[in-house]
Amino acid sequence: MGKPNLKDQIKQLYLVLLEEIKIFILTIKLVISKKNVWIISYYHFLKKVVVSKKQILNLSRLLLRFTLLSIFILFVLDLISKYITAPILTGIFNFIFKILISLVNLLYKAIYWIYIIFAIFLHFMNYLLVLLELTLQPIFEWIEIFFFNSLIYFLKLIFLLYSNFEKGILIFLMWLKSRIKK
């Protein structure tokens, strides 16, 4: 006997694939139509869908292939999520949190030094007022009491509010970072 023709081999392969696709589509149609497929035994279900034992064998092969392929895909996706995606996202979030924490620390230090400079300036102005007070006490008394002392206390209040706000931001960032690590 001679070798089978390439055209016949392609035709045979096409018929086998077409048969498997029909079986798969019929299976999906039965499942989608919500008939009581799984109440009946699986063999009877296969008999409803297909006619010959060859088709049952083809269907079982097809189901086995899809099962193995889906197990492999799920395994690969699990590996990707555990060892690639999670460390990358954790690294990105750690980097972002470190930048945010360092920016908050820089802002805290900047406001602290601005407060010190303003406090020194206001104390210096207060000392100048005390010096001028000796000569022009009636004029400058109300300026010192109402303006500079209240301004110093106002700046202290702003600094205290900011420091508590900054601590709240740091606590929130630490909490968020611990939630992401879980």
Give yes or no for a contact between 101 and 170, defined as CB atoms under 8 angstroms apart. Answer: yes
pTM for the predicted model, two decimal places = 0.32
What's the chain's average pLDDT? 72
CA distance 7 to 5: 5
Give yes or no for a contact between 39 and 47, defined as CB atoms under 8 angstroms apart. Answer: no
pLDDT for 57 equals 64
pLDDT for 169 equals 75
Q: Which DSSP state fits 4?
A: P
What is the amino acid identity at position 171? I
CA 14 to chain centre: 46
Give yes or no for a contact between 143 and 180, defined as CB atoms under 8 angstroms apart. Answer: no
Average pLDDT over residues 117-129: 78
Q: What is the DSSP string of 57-94?
A: HHHHHHHHHHHHHHHHHHHHHHHHIIIIIHHHHHHHHH
Reply yes or no on whether the pLDDT at 133 is more than 80.
no
Location of structure tokens 């097809």: 62
CA distance 98 to 86: 18
Read off the pLDDT of residues 26-45 as tens digits, 9 standing for 90 and up: 766 665 565 554 545 555 55
Q: Domain segments of the chain: what residues? A: 6-77, 86-182
